[in-house]
Structure 1
Amino acid sequence: MQKLFISLLLLCASAVSFAQPLPNKIPIDPHRWYQLNNCSRGLDDLFDGNLYANANTGFGKMFNNFDAYYPLLDGEQMVIDSIRFFDWQSTMSDYPVTISVITSDWKRIEIAKFTGAQYNVWVGPHNEQNLFAVDSVIPNVRYIVLNAWYQYPAEMELYGSYTPPPVTPVITKQVPLKNFFGVNAFEWDFINGVTGQLDNTKVNAMKGFAGLRHYMDWEKLESVEGKYTFNPVHSGGWNYDTIYATCKANGIEVLADLKTLPNWMLNTYPDNQRDAENVPVRYGKDFSDPNSYIEQAKVAFQYAARYGNNPNVDTSLVSVDASQRWTGDQINKKRVGLNYVKYIECDNERDKWWKGRKAYQTGREYAANLSTFYDGNKNTMGPAVGVKNADSSMQVVMSGVALATPDFLKGMIDWCKEFRGYKPDGSVNFCWDVINYHFISNDTRTSQNGYPTRGVAPEVGNGDSTAYSFLLAAHQFAADMPVWITETGYDDTASPYKAIPIGDKTAALTKADWTLRTSLMYARRGIQKVFFYELTDNNPGGTGQFATCGLLYQDRTRKPSGNFVYQTLKTFGEYTYKETLNNDPIVDRYEWNGYSMYAVMIGDEKGRTGTCTIDLGDAIAATIYTPTPTGDMMATQTVNTVNGQLTITATETPVFVVPVSGNYVMRLR
C-alpha cells in the first residue's frame, strides 16, 4: 500500500511539473470551433484547464471521423511553434486526433498527432514528454483543424507568436415589431379544398400575422420533370398566384420554403431509402458537388422569374406546363415579375441527423447546394439556373437548421471562402442573404436535441444566448448578415415542448405569455424576423412533440396565444425596439414616428410580480394596454403620472405603456 501511495505521489508530481506553461501561449476562444457533424456539445472541455476530464462532444453522431475547424478572424495572426496535450485516459493509437493548419492558399498541413499512448503527462506533437516543438513553423495560418474519431485529449495548448484581431461591436438593425409575428402555414390555410377558391374565414385568420413561411413542396411546382405549374399546381390543384396576391394585398410578407423531393426524383432511390426529406439530389449523387443540385436550382429559377420583382426576365427561358388535366381545368400561363415574393428558403432543416445520412448535409455540403440554388454556382450552369439569374433582388434564406448552433453556418461560410472566393470589394461571395435557424425553448437547453420534458419561458432557456451566438457568428464571419428564426413555439398538451400551468393560469394562458415574450425577447436581442410554428395544430389533442403548437384552433378562431399575437401586431406592430431601461422587471422602450411605447414584463415562470417606475417625461398620464385571451382588442386603463413618473406592477404577462401628454395622441396602425 505504501509503494502504491508513493507511486501516486510521483505521478501527481510528474503531472504538476510538466503542467507549467511554456512562454507565449496562444489564446483560444473555445466557442469559435465548429464541427462538421451533429455534435450536441462543443470543444470547450479541451480548453477549460481541467486536466482530468477528456473532452466529450456528445453521442449519436452522424460521422465516426470528422473535422473541427478554428477559423482566424480578419486581422488575427498566429504562428505556432509548439503544441502540447495532456494525456489522461484512453489509448487511441489506431484512431488518433490529428492537428493541421490550413494556410492562406488553402494548403492543409499536419503539425501534430495525438495517440493517447502516455498517461497523466503533457506530451508534444509526437506524443513524447518534454518535446513540444513542432517540426516546422507554418506562417499564414487561416484555420486550425482537428480531425478526430471518438475522443480527444484532456487539454490542448498552442504556443508561438500571436496578434489579436480588432474588436468591433455586433451590429444589429432595428426592425418593426411586426417582423416578429410571422407564422408557418400551407396553401390549404388559404384555399377551400372543395371549391378551390379563397376561403374568407381562412384568409381573415391569416390577417392576424405579418409574415407567412409557406411550406412549399417541390412536387407541387414540378410534378413532372421539366414541366412547371403554379396556377394551378398540378399536384393538388392549388392556385399560388391567388394566394400570393392575397398576401400582398393584406400586408403579409411571404417566405417561400421550397422543400422535399418530387416523386420523379424520389423514385431514383431504392425502395427502402425513399423519404421526401432526403437531400435534394438524384440517388448516388455527390453531396459535395454543386452540379448534383441543378434540378432544384432550375425550379428555383422558374419560381423566382414568376413571383420575383424582375419584369424583364427573358420569357424564352420561362416554362410552364400548358397541358389541361381535364375539361374546364385552368391552364397555366407564363407570367414574370409579379412582385409577390421577396424571400425564398432553400429547403428545411438540412441537418436532419435523425433521418440518417441520406437526409443529412454538412454545412460545407449545403453551401455547395446553395451555390447552385443561388446563382447557378456563379453562373456556370446556364442562364435558367438559380434564383438570382431570374431576380437579383430576391433574397435567398438559408435552410433553418434544427441543431441550434452556428457550427453548420460556419461550415457554409468557409466553403464559400474556398470555392466562391471574394468580391472586388473584398467581401466573401456568399450564396445566401439571410441566416436562419430553429429554436424551441425547453428544459434541456438544447432545442431539438436531448430529452426535454417540457417547454420553458423564453428568458429562462438559452434562447437569448443562442441568438447572440448566431449574431456573433454573423458579425465575425458574415458582415452582420440578418439572422432569422423561422420555427419557434410551444405545445398546448403533454409533449416535450409543452407550456405549463403557472399559478392560476392554465397552460394555454402560459403559452400566450411565452409566445408574446418570445417575440419581445428576439426584438430586444437583434434578431430580424420570427415565424411561429405553426398556424393550426398538426394533431389536435395529441401528445407528441409539435402536435399542438398551433396559434389557432381548427375552425380558425384564435387560441389565447393567437389573440396575444393579433392584438400586439394590430396595436403596436409599427413600433421598433430602441433600448432596455430595466432588466427585472424588464422595461423595453419602443419608438414609432417619434412616439415612445414601453413594454413591461417579468421574464420568469414562477408567477411572481415586480414593481418598477418609468420616467415618462412631461406625460400627465399613461395608457396601459394589457393583452387579453379573447377578442380583438387589448384591455386599456389610463392612469395619472406623478411628475411624469409612472409606477407599475409587472407580471409575466407583458403590458404596453403609452405616455399621454397635452400634445400626445396615441397613434395606431
Structure 2
Amino acid sequence: MKNLFTLPLYFLIVTSALIMGCHSDKVNHQTEIGEIVNDSIHEDGSHPPVSSKADTSSIAETLPVAAKSGAKMADLTGINAFEWDLLQNPKDPADGSRIYEPKMALAKSFGGVRHYIDWERLEHKPGQYTFNPTNGGGWYFDVMYERFKKEGIPVLSCFQNAPPWLSATYPAKERTFSNIPAPYGSDTEKPTSYLAQAKLGFQFAARYGANKNIDSGLVKVYKEPRWSTDLVNTVKIGLNYVRYVECGNEPDKWWLGKNSQQNGRQYAANLSAFYDGHKGTMGKNVGVKTADPSMKVVMGGIARPDIKFVREMIEWCKENRGYRPDGSVNLCFDVINFHMYSNDYTGWFAKFKSKKRGVAPETNDMGEIADGFVKLARELGHGMEVWTTETGYDLHPKSVQKVIAIGSKSLELTQADWILRTSLMYARHGLDRVFFYQMFDDKDAKLNAGETFGASGLVTLAKRRSAADYLLQVRKLMGEYRYSRTINEDPVVDVYQMGKKSMYILVVPDEKDRKEAYELNMNGAKTATIYYLKPGSDQMEVRQKKTQNGKLKILVSETPVFVQGS
C-alpha cells in the first residue's frame, strides 16, 4: 500500500512538480490515430516516408526476448485493490457482508486482482484467526473470494503491515504498522523469528487453497462473536478460491529505518518460514506449502527494483536450504516480484535529468531493468516467473508521477495510453503478470492533494476511466493471445498469437504526439481488420481495409492500434 509514510525514497526526495496548465477533462477519441494511410495524406499528394518491415535479424541484439512462450494478454491487465473496493456499499458502509455489484462490474475490467490484506484483519490477537467475517472491519473474505472465482478473476492475496500486538514488542517510539514481521530483538536471519506470520500463512492456505486433505485439527478459527447477533467464523478447508499469496509488501522499506527494512538475507529467512515452515522443520501447522503444495508463493514486491536483493535471497537459500536433487537451489519463492513506476526521476539508476513527472514507459530504463530479473529467472529454472505488482500513473498535477496532456489528448487519455503501453512493454521484456496501482483513487485527503499516488485510480464509483476502458477492450479482443515476437522497433510492431491466429499491435514509443507511417506485411492476407481503442466504450471500433499484395499502409500513433489479417 502506498501512503505518505511509505513512499519510496526516489519519490520523496522529489519535492516539487511542474504546474500544468488547464486541460479539458473531456475524453475525445482521436480520429487520426491509427488511420489507414491513403494517397492524400500530404497536401502535395505524396506519402510521408513509409517504414519498411524490419529485418528481425538486424535488430536481434536490441530487441528484448520474451520469456518462455510469452505472457498472456489478460495476465498483463491486473489491478491492486482492497476488500472495501468490492464489499462496501457507499450507502451502507458498515455492511461488509456482500458484494456491491456496481463495484464488481468495474472490477471485471481487469485480468486479476492483487488484494492488500492487513495482517490484523485475519489475526486480531495471537492465534485468533478470522476470515468471514474478519474481526477487524467485519469483512467477509469468503464472499469476496468466492465471487472472484466465479467470475474467473485470479486473486493474489498480499499480506502486509504488522498487527498491533506484534508492533507492541517494539519500543514505543519505534512502533509502526510497517515493522518487520518478527518480534523486536529477534535474529532476523532466522526463520523461527517469523513463526507467527508463517502460521497465518498455513491457516490462509488451508482455507483458501485447493488441498482438502488436511488434518482438521490443525485448522483454527476464532469462534467468539463480536456481539450477540454476529456471524461466528467456522473452519473451512480447501475452498480453492486463491492460487497466489504474496509475503509482505515492499520488504526493503529503507526510507522507514532499520525496524521496517529487511535486506535480501533477512527477507529470505522470512520467506523460508512463510513458504514451507523452513522445509517443514517449524511444525505441522506452519507455512503455505505445508497446507497446499500447489499454492504459489510470490515474493513481496521490492520498492527498489535492484536485482542484488534477489541475489542475496538466493545466497541465503544456498546456505540454509541447500539444493534439490537436480542440483538447483532449494528456493522459498515461486515468483520474482518488483515494483517500478515509470518516472523521470529514478534515483539510483537514473540516466537522465528529472522533469518531476511520469514518463512514457518505453522512454526510460524500465525494460532494461526488467531484462535483468527475467534473465535471473531463466537461470533459476523450475518455471520461475517474474511479475510486477505495482506500477501506474497519477492524474493529479502536483504528483511527481503525473501524466501530461499530449497534443489534443486529455490527461486521462495519456494515462490510458501509458498504462496499456506499460503492459505491452513488459510483455516484450518477458514478464508474466502486471498489476496496476490502483482500482480507486486513495480516500486519504493528503494523498489526493497530489502526494504521488492519490489520484492513480483507474475507475471511479461512477464509471471506468479510459485506462480501464482500454484494458477491458484489449482483454475482450485478445485476452488469450500470447506475446510472440517484435518485428519492428519504431514504430513498435508486436505479434501476439493464439493457436494459428495472429494479432499485430503497433504503437509509436514516444510522448510527443508523434506519428509514423508504416507498411505492415500481413503475409498474404487479403483483408486487414483494424481495431481502434475507444474511450467510454466496452468494445473497440472496428474497420476493414483491403490490403495491397498482402501489405497494409497504416499511420501509427502513440495510442496502440490492433490489426488482424484474413
Structure-1-length-normalised TM-score? 0.72
Which residue in the other structure is 1:137 paired with?
none
Which of 638, 653, 665 aligns to 2:544? It is 638
Secondary structure class of the residue paired with 1:629: coil
Which residue in the other structure is 1:194 paired with?
94
Which residue in the other structure is 2:451 paired with?
544
Inter-partner Cα distance in structure 2 for 1:316 and 1:452: 58
* Matched letter for residue 651 of structure 1: S
How many Å apart are 1:451 and its aligned residue? 6.9
1:326 aligns with 2:222: no
Inter-partner Cα distance in structure 1 for 2:511 and 2:346: 15
| Equivalent residues of 1:174, 1:576 under 8 A apart | yes
Which residue in the other structure is 2:520 paired with?
614
| Equivalent residues of 2:69, 2:483 under 8 A apart | no
Secondary structure class of the residue paired with 2:128: coil
Which of 478, 494, 506 aligns to 1:572? It is 478
| Equivalent residues of 1:626, 1:655 under 8 A apart | yes
* Matched letter for residue 80 of structure 2: N
Alignment of 1:41-440 (within 5 A): 171-192=67-88, 193-196=93-96, 197-440=98-341
* Matched letter for residue 467 of structure 1: A
Which residue in the other structure is 2:62 paired with?
none
Secondary structure class of the residue paired with 1:357: coil
Which residue in the other structure is 2:360 paired with?
457
| Equivalent residues of 1:217, 1:258 under 8 A apart | yes
Cα gap change, 1:447 to 1:606, in 2 (>3 Å): farther
Inter-partner Cα distance in structure 2 for 1:488 and 1:394: 24
Which of 431, 442, 446 aligns to 1:527? It is 431
Q: Deviations over 1:194-215 (max 9, x none)?
A: 3332100011111111111000
Cα gap change, 1:402 to 1:221, in 2 (>3 Å): same
1:474 aligns with 2:360: no
Inter-partner Cα distance in structure 2 for 1:478 and 1:281: 31
Inter-partner Cα distance in structure 1 for 2:346 and 2:476: 32
Which residue in the other structure is 2:505 paired with?
599
Secondary structure class of the residue paired with 2:337: strand
Structure having the larger proportion of residues in strand: 1
Which residue in the other structure is 1:23 paired with?
none
| Equivalent residues of 1:440, 1:488 under 8 A apart | yes
Q: Deviations over 1:501-541 (max 9, x none)?
A: 11111221111110000001111111000000000111585
Alignment of 1:508-519 (within 5 A): 508-519=412-423
Secondary structure class of the residue paired with 1:587: strand
Inter-partner Cα distance in structure 2 for 1:411 and 1:598: 40
Cα gap change, 1:309 to 1:342, in 2 (>3 Å): same
Inter-partner Cα distance in structure 2 for 1:556 and 1:247: 21
1:487 aligns with 2:393: no
| Equivalent residues of 2:66, 2:428 under 8 A apart | no
* Larger displacement relative to structure 2 (324-333 or 240-249): 324-333
Secondary structure class of the residue paired with 1:223: strand
Cα gap change, 1:452 to 1:538, in 2 (>3 Å): farther
Inter-partner Cα distance in structure 2 for 1:597 and 1:605: 24
* Matched letter for residue 187 of structure 1: E
How many Å apart are 1:302 and its aligned residue? 0.2
| Equivalent residues of 1:563, 1:629 under 8 A apart | yes
Inter-partner Cα distance in structure 2 for 1:477 and 1:542: 43
Structure 1: runs of 5+ lacking an equivalent: 1-37, 41-58, 60-168, 661-669
Cα gap change, 1:448 to 1:252, in 2 (>3 Å): farther
Cα gap change, 1:556 to 1:410, in 2 (>3 Å): farther
Which residue in the other structure is 1:27 paired with?
none
| Equivalent residues of 2:519, 2:553 under 8 A apart | yes
Cα gap change, 1:637 to 1:171, in 2 (>3 Å): closer
Whichever of the two has the greater Rg, that structure is 1
Which residue in the other structure is 1:128 paired with?
none
| Equivalent residues of 1:471, 1:480 under 8 A apart | no
How many Å apart are 1:448 and its aligned residue? 10
How many Å apart are 1:480 and its aligned residue? 6.1
Inter-partner Cα distance in structure 1 for 2:283 and 2:266: 21
Inter-partner Cα distance in structure 2 for 1:220 and 1:374: 21
Cα gap change, 1:301 to 1:451, in 2 (>3 Å): farther
* Matched letter for residue 298 of structure 2: V
Cα gap change, 1:381 to 1:451, in 2 (>3 Å): farther
* Larger displacement relative to structure 2 (531-540 or 296-305): 531-540
Secondary structure class of the residue paired with 1:484: strand
Inter-partner Cα distance in structure 2 for 1:403 and 1:442: 13
Which residue in the other structure is 1:152 paired with?
none
Secondary structure class of the residue paired with 2:361: coil
Secondary structure class of the residue paired with 1:521: helix
Which residue in the other structure is 1:585 paired with?
491
Inter-partner Cα distance in structure 2 for 1:289 and 1:518: 38
Secondary structure class of the residue paired with 1:359: coil
| Equivalent residues of 1:170, 1:475 under 8 A apart | no
Cα gap change, 1:404 to 1:446, in 2 (>3 Å): farther
Inter-partner Cα distance in structure 2 for 1:433 and 1:566: 28
Q: Deviations over 1:300-335 (max 9, x none)?
A: 000000000101011110000111111221111111
Structure 2: runs of 5+ lacking an equivalent: 1-7, 14-64
Q: Deviations over 1:612-656 (max 9, x none)?
A: 111223322111111122121111111111121111110000010
| Equivalent residues of 2:66, 2:431 under 8 A apart | no
Cα gap change, 1:290 to 1:451, in 2 (>3 Å): farther
How many Å apart are 1:444 and its aligned residue? 2.1
Inter-partner Cα distance in structure 2 for 1:263 and 1:416: 30
Cα gap change, 1:556 to 1:399, in 2 (>3 Å): farther
Which residue in the other structure is 1:507 paired with?
411
| Equivalent residues of 2:334, 2:385 under 8 A apart | yes
Inter-partner Cα distance in structure 2 for 1:622 and 1:489: 32
How many Å apart are 1:416 and its aligned residue? 0.3
Inter-partner Cα distance in structure 1 for 2:262 and 2:280: 23
Q: Could you say which structure has the greater relative contact order, defined with CA pairs below 8 angstroms and 6 or more residues apart?
A: 2
* Matched letter for residue 77 of structure 2: F
How many Å apart are 1:177 and its aligned residue? 0.3
Cα gap change, 1:556 to 1:593, in 2 (>3 Å): farther
| Equivalent residues of 1:413, 1:477 under 8 A apart | no
| Equivalent residues of 1:404, 1:439 under 8 A apart | yes
| Equivalent residues of 2:69, 2:482 under 8 A apart | no
| Equivalent residues of 2:66, 2:427 under 8 A apart | no
How many Å apart are 1:472 and its aligned residue? 1.8
Cα gap change, 1:452 to 1:335, in 2 (>3 Å): farther
Inter-partner Cα distance in structure 1 for 2:320 and 2:291: 23
Identity of aligned residues (%): 46
